[in-house]
């Protein structure tokens, strides 16, 4: 099947340029540094020095759920930045270098081309996130106390939806702009703008994708999946699908115009 | 509180792996954005961030 061939090409490419190795490694680092640095904060401050003799540091005891959310916060900032940077050229770069033309000269459907790109990118991001979250979860339970396994799986499920959305935003701008730099800028700007809008109109936008972290944090405390979390997850999935369809349409238009 | 080095070891192992993979790729790559030796310094001397910068921006496709 054509679609499988395209997907395979993407996966092999991600393997050859080592993305399948370094992206998961970085995600694991991001996730396990939080519980470790939080746990050893007194030692770190001690080693750095500068505190007057006899200072007593009273670090608050963090519940394990909060520590896992710290790791997640790393994914929300640096992780998202990384995803945008590594995907900024996935279509835009191929167009610039002429590879896209080579592929699209053949009777390749635009839908197949975009969705294969999208899935390949999401598989990479998902594997990195899965390993990172597992690392963060492992350290959190060892250093700060037990967390129910369900917390792991729900975080995996719902946060993956948010990451899929981020991937889709990048793919969408990839279909519009030819310059990877512009794709990265537009993606980051969109995500920041969405988070600002969600903060300002938070009372109306209960189910904005940006709220997923907040509801996950609430889930850690209450140990139940709230209706809001499910609704936010569904909204995010819906927006992802709409954006993906829009990407195909934009791409078709742009290619036919050329 | 003692520092449990076994606990922190994975952090260094992963950093080391990132460094090694970046160096292997650097040695084999043919096209660089900017100078080849500049990237070697970035990979080795900026811990953690250096290899990532190299993977993201160092190579031409």
Per residue in A73-94, pLDDT (tens digit) is 999 999 999 999 999 999 988 8
Instruction: Confirm or reject contact between A85 and chain B (CB < 8 A).
Output: yes
Name the residue in chain B with its Cα closest to that of A25.
Answer: B14
User: What pLDDT was estimated at residue A174?
Assistant: 95
Rama region for A63: left / alpha / beta (φ>0; ψ in -120 to 50; rest): beta
Asked, for residue B1, whether it belongs to a domain, the answer is no
User: What pLDDT was estimated at residue A212?
Assistant: 94
DSSP per position, A190-251: HHHHHHHHHHHTTTT-TT-GGGHHHHHHHHHHH-S--HHHHHHHHHHHHHHHHHHHHHHHHH
Residues of the domain holding B16:
7-58
**How many domains does chain B divide into?**
1
**How many domains does chain A divide into?**
1
Instruction: Confirm or reject contact between B7 and chain A (CB < 8 A).
Output: yes
Interface of A with B in 153-182 (CB under 8 A): none
User: What pLDDT was estimated at residue B1?
Assistant: 58
Name the residue in chain A with its Cα closest to that of B18.
Answer: A22
- Give the mean model confidence (pLDDT) for residues A164-184: 96
Asked, for residue B2, whether it belongs to a domain, the answer is no
- Give the mean model confidence (pLDDT) for residues A119-133: 97
Asked, for residue A49, whether it belongs to a domain, the answer is no
**Among candidates B59, B28, A48, which has minimal Cα distance to B42?**
B59
Asked, for residue B46, whether it belongs to a domain, the answer is yes
User: What pLDDT was estimated at residue A46?
Assistant: 79
Position B13 pLDDT exceeds 70: yes
| Run of H or E residues at B40 | helix B36-45
Confidence check on the interface: ipTM exceeds 0.90, yes or no: yes
Contact A2, A108 (CB under 8 A): yes
Residues of the domain holding A236:
2-34+62-257
Asked, for residue A154, whether it belongs to a domain, the answer is yes
Instruction: Confirm or reject contact between B32 and chain A (CB < 8 A).
Output: no
Q: A1 in helix, strand or coil?
A: coil
Task: Tell me the chain B residues in contact with residue A29 when contact means C-beta distances shorter than 8 Å.
Answer: 11, 14-15, 18, 48
pLDDT band at B61, cuts 50/70/90?
low
pLDDT band at A150, cuts 50/70/90?
very high
Outline where chain A has alpha helix (H): 2-16, 19-39, 41-48, 64-74, 80-87, 92-97, 99-105, 110-144, 149-176, 180-200, 212-222, 227-257
Position A258 pLDDT exceeds 90: no
Task: Tell me the chain A residues in contact with residue B48 when contact means C-beta distances shorter than 8 Å.
Answer: 29
Instruction: Confirm or reject contact between B53 and chain A (CB < 8 A).
Output: no
């Amino acid at each position: 099947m054509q679609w499988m061939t395209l997907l395979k090409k993407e996966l092999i490419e991600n393997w050859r340029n080592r993305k399948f190795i370094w992206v998961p490694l970085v995600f694991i680092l991001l996730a396990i540094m939080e519980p470790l640095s939080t746990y050893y904060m007194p030692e770190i401050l001690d080693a750095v020095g500068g505190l007057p003799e006899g200072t007593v540091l009273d670090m608050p005891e963090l519940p394990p759920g909060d520590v896992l959310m710290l790791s997640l916060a790393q994914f929300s900032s640096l992780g998202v930045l990384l995803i945008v940077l590594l995907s900024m050229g996935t279509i835009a770069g191929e167009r610039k270098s002429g590879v896209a033309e080579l592929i699209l000269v053949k009777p390749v459907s635009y839908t197949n081309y975009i969705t294969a790109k999208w899935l390949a990118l999401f598989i990479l991001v998902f594997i990195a996130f899965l390993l990172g979250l597992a690392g963060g979860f492992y350290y959190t339970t060892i250093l700060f106390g037990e967390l129910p396994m369900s917390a792991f799986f729900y975080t995996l499920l719902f946060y993956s939806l948010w990451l899929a959305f981020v991937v889709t935003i990048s793919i969408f701008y990839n279909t519009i702009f030819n310059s990877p730099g512009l794709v990265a800028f537009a993606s980051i700007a969109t995500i920041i703008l969405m988070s600002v809008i969600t903060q300002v109109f938070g009372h109306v936008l209960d189910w904005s994708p940006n709220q997923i972290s907040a509801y996950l944090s609430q889930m850690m405390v209450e140990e139940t999946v709230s209706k809001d979390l499910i609704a936010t997850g569904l909204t995010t999935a819906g927006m992802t699908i709409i954006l993906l369809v829009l990407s195909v349409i934009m791409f078709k238009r742009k290619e036919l115009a050329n | 509180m003692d520092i449990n080095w076994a606990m922190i070891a994975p952090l260094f192992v992963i950093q080391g792996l990132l460094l090694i993979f970046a160096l292997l790729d650097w040695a084999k790559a043919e096209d660089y954005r900017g100078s080849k030796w500049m990237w070697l310094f970035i990979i080795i001397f900026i811990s953690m961030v250096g290899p990532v910068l190299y993977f993201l921006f160092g190579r031409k496709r």
